[in-house]
Structure 1
């Protein structure tokens, strides 16, 4: 039996790249690696077995239909591509709101709609602890992730009897390129050096640390497998207990 296909968006770097590599380990899955940056995709996956590279802006209206045509037998979808920018309320203009909602909510909803119609059975949405609690200066980001989590829970109930599962993975701060930009932002605004900025963010977790992409990838892989058939509509945090409830 051939390994099932999983579509991973934002697969050229960060959590998306870690997820794709984890899925390819032991040839457990085959991966459709989706991103806008063709050079980054080729650098990450050039020559890799079991990978189909697709250069696609997921905010394009027809992205879902295109992916459904390219991979009509996909088993799973990992909606990972995302945007995270910070701003105080007075600088949170319509453009900032629109860009966050377009990439973090509308795009995954369009992809999900098109691909579930073609037979996808597992949907994993990369959310954030910002979908579960409040942080200052990220109202646009938090709103978009709250929206995605709400849709995840609703769709889980809508499709439960059909055996399709929807879950959200909600990490705290993860060591990625996005995290590095956050550190630079904090350093620029506060005068802290990089180490001080990282320490400040690590303290948000009771474990006092920043998390690794591989930790997130391992959970995503589990949720895509047959052993996770009963896990549905859940928001699973990787945060060391920060939002424990």
Structure 2
């Protein structure tokens, strides 16, 4: 699809789920890819499976770690801010610490890695900044108010930074998957089963119901969109929040 030969890419949260598939797709299309996360074991598994992928440990909630990751990845041309997490609670059970946790990983994790990468990109005059947000950045969902707030903030950051960089060849975009077949989704299914007594199929049906196609998004579909945004053919695409949701958000 896109020849990324000679390009360097960093994928945060690259050891599992969507991040791992994004890293593999970028590497398969010629990029030298570094995957980052807090736990070395899953990173090393992915790195061992695919040529052109290297593992590096770091916490995106720590600005100094982000600066170190950017250096390890040799000032990457492409940064995929994928690391994220979700807490599911009714609003009246949510604590300030819960809200701070969601902002730390889902918003500041994007801000920190972008801030660390942007200086070198500006010097070159080119780059691709892509966050994996969520349809939760485009609409509300019950019981994940802090997560939705953080993802909405990522969309705002995307739009504003894209305008600041519009006179360069540095683009800033977000991809916004609906419920996607990942370990995080499996955890959500199990949570519904435990709290409601529903069967697995009933829990899965409840989560897939908002998707007009009646299914879960596949990680490959997200990765293919990221691959397109990372290439030269998407140089006029910036400030966008691309919904990958079977029509759930438009």
TM-score w.r.t. structure 1 length? Answer: 0.96
Which runs of structure 2 are paired with 1:177-192 in the superposition (5 Å)? Answer: 177-192=183-198
8 A contact 2:130–2:172 mirrored in 1: yes
Report the counterpart of residue 132 of structure 2 in structure 1.
126
Q: Structure 2 regions of 5+ residues with no counterpart?
A: none
Q: Which residue among 175, 180, 205 is the counterpart of 1:169?
A: 175
| CA positional deviation for 1:201 | 1.2
Q: CA deviation at 1:3?
A: 2.2
- Offset of residue 47 of structure 1: 6.3
Structure 1 position 24 matched with structure 2 position 30: no
Most deviating of 55-64 and 175-184:
55-64
- The answer to whether the 8 Å contact 2:11/2:35 transfers is yes
Q: Does 1:60 align with 2:85?
A: no
Q: Could you tell me which residue of structure 1 aligns to residue 84 of structure 2?
A: 82
Moved over 6 A (4+): none
1: CA distance, partners of 2:70 / 2:223: 23
How far does the alpha carbon of each residue in 1:121-171 deviate from its partner, in whole angstroms, 9 at most, with x for none?
100011111111111111000000001110000000000102210001000
C-alpha deviation, 1:189, in angstroms? 1.7
CA RMSD of the aligned region, Å?
1.3
Q: Which residue matches 1:214?
A: 220
* Aligned-residue offset at 1:180: 0.3
In structure 1, C-alpha distance between the alignment counterparts of 2:21 and 2:244, rounded to whole Å = 15
CA deviation map 1:89-130 (0-9, x unaligned): 111101100100000011210110110112261000111111
8 Å CA contact 1:204, 1:242 repeated in 2:
yes
Following TM superposition, by how much is the alpha carbon of 1:63 offset from its aligned partner in structure 2, in angstroms?
1.9
Query: What CA distance in whole angstroms lies between the structure 2 residues aligned with 1:158 and 1:152?
Result: 10
1:2 offset after TM fit, Å? 4.8
So what's the TM-score if we normalise by structure 2?
Answer: 0.94
1:35-114 alignment, distance < 5 Å: 35-46=37-48, 48-114=50-116
